Each structure stands twice: as structure tokens, then as C-alpha cells.
Chains A and B, each alone.
Chain A
């Protein structure tokens, strides 16, 4: 998902009159689909399916779909250790309690 927003050009190298104008930039949104009660949030539009979070989940809370992306297989097993959080190279998962 992406949406267009207006942003100031101040701080960029432009001519002065150009800097007064607003420019349109496209902003990608991080969307966490699914259940808000789920212990782990997965942002599927940022995930690259590398499998690191599933491989290093200490309790086996996460499982792997046939296409390689993670899903919450055992919601009760999450201990909020944030290992997936820290080891995700794509900032696409969080197991933190205060997310």
C-alpha cells in the first residue's frame, strides 16, 4: 500500500522559489494485517521470506508457509523475547509486547 502526501522541500537543495512549493512524495505504509490479539505482528508487504525469524524462534511459535513467509503457528508459545524483532533484516515482524 502506498499513499501520496505533501512534504516541504525545505532542507533540500533547490532554488528558493522552488523550496516554497510542496512536493508530492509516495509513502509506503507498513500495514500489519490480521488479528490484533496475535502475539506476533507480521508486515507481509515488507517480508522477503528469508526464514530467519522462523529458524531462530526459540519456542517454535512461528511456522513457515509453503511460499516461505512466516505465520503464527502456536500463538500460546510466544514468550515476547523479541528475537524475531531484532533478527529480521526487513523490519517486517515484531513480537514485542509494547508494539
Chain B
């Protein structure tokens, strides 16, 4: 595998923005942004053929720093905007960078319907278990009993399994990894970009300043080590007995299938409606 040095990553950043960037010390968003840049650089894609769309949140600050075609849109509506971009420019690669609160709470409806339509978007969902930017409110992925600003005595709600949600809604590519596994993240971003159809990549990440501090998870390296120790690959999950795999983060490509893609179907419909030959 060709290695992409930091120099190349710097070439993809917008140096007229304020650096060092806005994220807290030890936040995983930077690692994921680096992995996305490395994936794009390794695939040798033309920068003008990629659109990055985001909503509101910590992770959604990403398009500000990366020098692609970017859209920074309303809270939760990133997938709705991305659908519009993809319909108008079907040949462009559309990446949606979104957070857990942005995508599963406010934009939950957009997520399930984009998955159902199987439109060719690449959704990179950075799951830090909390609303970091607004001060640490409980999000749909905050674990049971975890402390948040709006749940000072512990969260009483069960949390979402985002990959199961996407698979239930009909996404054709679903994968999960953690920010600690940066090479794996890079490879999955590549796979997701190459997949024709809706692809969702959940990246479990660390929020040491808000979530980690409130729940006494330790410093940024401690949270990274926890991600390393508490996650197992899908192949190991299938082999090990149930007691050993309980509560672990399962990494791997959970689903990959080819289904009719929405913009292709729409192009066929246009031909048919104009009285042309479909095949």
C-alpha cells in the first residue's frame, strides 16, 4: 500500500482557514479527516469531481478545512442536500460527513430514506456518543447510564445501533470501524467510495473533552486505547462464543450487496418517458 505522507495531506487543506483547527485536543475528527484525505489521494480522484456535504456539529466542520467542492448545510439535512447534488451531477462522488446527533436524531428520516432509495452517496458517520459542539447533550447513541449535560444522573434511554438501523433501512454497503484503526478507516472510505449505491461507514470516535471528561474515561490516549481494546473484527466475532463478544464494537464490512441505484433508475426512466428504447 502506497503511503501518503503528511505533506500530501497538507496539500488538501485550505490554508486560508485558521489553523490549528477548531477541534479540541485529542478529538478523533482530525484522524478521520486525515483518513478521508489519504483515501482520496490514494485513489487519485480529481478534486473537482468530489463534493463533500455536511450538516451542523463538530464533525460537520470538516468541509471547512478540506479543499474540495463543499457544502455546509442545515442541521441534519446534509443527506437531503447531497441527494440534490447527486441527482443534478450523477457522475460526481458525493461524500456526506455527519455526526451521530446530526444524522440519527435530527436527520434520521433523511438517513433511512436515502438508504431505502439506494442513492449513490457515501455517508461517513462519526459517532462520538454525544452532542459535542453544543455542550454535551445526550444524543441517540449515548450509551445507557452514561452521563450527559441533559442526563446528569445517567442516561435512561437505550442507544441506537446505527449499522443495524442502516441495514434495516436497506443500505447496500454498511461498515463500521473506529478512529484508532486509521488504516482500516482509510480502506473502508475507499471501498465506500467505490461502491455503487448507498454506503454508510460508521466511525466510532473519541470525544475526550466533553464525553470523556463527564464519564471519567481519561485522556485522549486512554480513550484511543479503549477503542483498540473494546473492538473486535467481524471474523473474530463470528468465531468467538457470545460471552466474550458482549459489549464489544464489531469492526468490518457488515453488508455489501449490489442493488439498482437510484440515479441510474432515474436516467432509465427519463429515456423511457421520452419514448426511447430502454435497453
Contacts and interface: CB of A to CB of B under 8 A. Distances in A.
B20 A93 contact: no
A86 B34 contact: yes
A50 B6 contact: no
Contacts of B24: 48
B103 to A, nearest CB: 21
Contact of A56 (B5, B16, B38, B224): B224
A89 B28 CA distance: 6
A74 B16 CA distance: 35
Contacts of B34: 86, 88-89, 91
Given A55-B224, A98-B5, A48 B16 contact: no
Contact of B5 (A87, A88, A96): A96
B20 A48 contact: yes
Contacts of B35: 86
A28 B21 CA distance: 11
Contacts of B224: 52, 55-56, 87
A48 B119 CA distance: 39
Contact of A28 (B15, B23, B28): B15
Contact of A86 (B15, B16, B31, B220): B31
Contacts of A41: 6
Contacts of A18: none
A48 B25 contact: yes
Contacts of B219: 50-51
Contacts of A45: 20
Interface in A5-22: 7
Contacts of B220: 50-52
A55 B16 contact: no
A55 B10 contact: no
Q: Is the interface of A mostly helix, strand, loop or mixed?
A: loop
Interface residues of A, number: 33
A49 B25 CA distance: 7
Contacts of B5: 82, 85, 94, 96, 98-99
A82 B278 CA distance: 51
Interface string A66-99: 0000000000000000100111111111101011
A92 B182 contact: no
B3 interface: yes
B217 to A, nearest CB: 14
Contacts of A28: 15, 18-19
B183 A91 contact: no
B69 to A, nearest CB: 10
A19 B269 CA distance: 40
A44 to B, nearest CB: 10
Contact of B221 (A26, A56, A86, A88): A56
Interface of B: 3, 5-7, 9-10, 13, 15-16, 18-21, 23-31, 34-35, 38, 180, 182-183, 186, 208, 219-221, 224-225
16 contacts: A27-B15, A29-B15, A30-B19, A41-B6, A45-B20, A46-B20, A48-B20, A51-B26, A56-B221, A85-B5, A87-B224, A89-B30, A89-B31, A90-B21, A94-B7, A96-B7
Interface of A: 7, 25-30, 41, 45-52, 54-56, 82, 85-94, 96, 98-99
Given A86-B34, A86-B38, A96-B3, 20 more contacts: A28-B19, A46-B19, A50-B220, A51-B221, A52-B26, A55-B221, A86-B31, A86-B35, A87-B31, A87-B182, A88-B6, A88-B31, A89-B23, A89-B28, A90-B20, A91-B10, A91-B13, A91-B30, A96-B5, A98-B5
